[in-house]
Amino acid sequence: MSTLAQRRPSPVAERRGAFEYVFPAIRGVQAQREFYVTMCPLRLIPRLFVFDEEELLPELRAQRTLNRARVPDIARYILENQDTYTFSALTASVDADLRFEGFEGDGPLDRIGTLSIPMSAKFVINDGQHRRAAIEEALRENPELGDESIAVVLFLDLGLSRCQQMFADLNRYAIRPAPSLSVLYDQRDTRACIARQVVFESRVLTDLVETEKSNLSVRSRKLFTLSAVFTCTKALLDGFDDLPYEKQAGIAQDFWTALIDYFPDWKRVAQQEVTAGDIRRDFLHSHGIALHALGKVGNRYVSPTSSPQVWRKKLAPLREVDWSRANRAMWEGRALVGGRISKSSANVLLTTNALRGVLGQELNAEEQLAEKAFMGEGR
């Protein structure tokens, strides 16, 4: 048996002499200071790691106030994906004297060993407080998750100023991935999977959709973003969650096939008869707000029992819509504000109302209120 196997530490958080926690750990150095990486069972996370008192003023805390509205969503993510969930490491500071004992005195193995921490120490999370709260909530529903583990990066607590600086540094360059890239990679969201299927199985859309970025440059050869296709598809399939995947995907593919027929400009771009930039500059039908509205009006017609031939005829008046951005009489205040496209929820609602009027669809209560407010502002 190897020396490492013989000297492997006991399970995480075993008490030594009832005064210390003992963690297996790896020692590293950043900014000339030691830090440690360990694994901690989920059941210990709520007990070890605490929050700053939320009633303290911001300048007296070392982290943001916990947004409790986020916690149930993260907990649900764990519980609904117990075989596939993924969590990155928590980062915390410890206000105690730490004792690290490497397995060997020299060589690479001296960085691997045991980290002893007094049980009176205070662990304060610098990054990951919402994950910590979600773990606690998930454990209440399924205690068996407690035997699983999460990586923890531990730093020596050098005071409030240092902890505040760590929080600022850890979040300084944090950037959420572009929505299109999230849709491209998301295997859990049914609507994301359908949106990808719609795009990749369409000879026209495959060449028109930007799958990584969510903003198109003036010179981009793409006409839509994948996130816009996703938003349209999600609106189209609203209320169809109980349908089998194949049925939902079939409805979405039929709908997008119909849209391609109703918007010949899209085919012209695919055939390189006109540039995508020219179409986006002059018309609204390729922008996210228009696609979102199209999905919403389409939702009123499509159903598991209706024939595509039937609802395609109902959508046919879309061919006659003047989608030109120069058509201020129709689009100003709805899709446009001061001549510029606005993607706010209010503008999506008003754009949807305009299309419902073209198709002869009735407005629901929310849409009627928005329309009355819009018409009362000088119309």
Q: What is the pLDDT of residues 186-214, one digit of tens each?
A: 988 999 999 999 999 999 999 999 999 88
What does the pLDDT look like over 222-274, one tens digit per residue?
A: 999 999 999 999 999 999 999 999 999 999 999 999 999 999 999 999 999 99
Cα 362 → chain centroid: 33
| One-letter amino acid for residue 208 of the chain | L
Extended beta strands in the chain, E state:
14-16, 20-30, 33-41, 49-50, 90-94, 99-102, 112-118, 123-127, 149-156, 209-210, 224-225, 336-337, 340-341
Cα 78 → chain centroid: 15
> Looking at the predicted structure, is the pLDDT value of residue 152 above 70?
yes
How far apart are alpha carbons 2 and 374 in whole angstroms? Answer: 77
Contact 119, 106 (CB under 8 A): no
Task: For residue 63, name the pLDDT band (cuts at 50, 70, 90).
Answer: low
**In 3D, which of 229, 181, 182 has the Cα closest to residue 208?**
229
Torsion angle (degrees, nearest 10) of CA 337, 343, 347, 350: 120
> Looking at the predicted structure, is the pLDDT value of residue 277 above 50?
yes
- Percent helix, strand, coil in the chain, to 5, is 50, 15, 35
How far apart are alpha carbons 30 and 155 in whole angstroms? Answer: 10
Conformational region of residue 272, where left means phi above 0, alpha means psi within -120 to 50, and beta covers everything else: left
Mean pLDDT of the chain: 86
pTM attached to this predicted model: 0.76
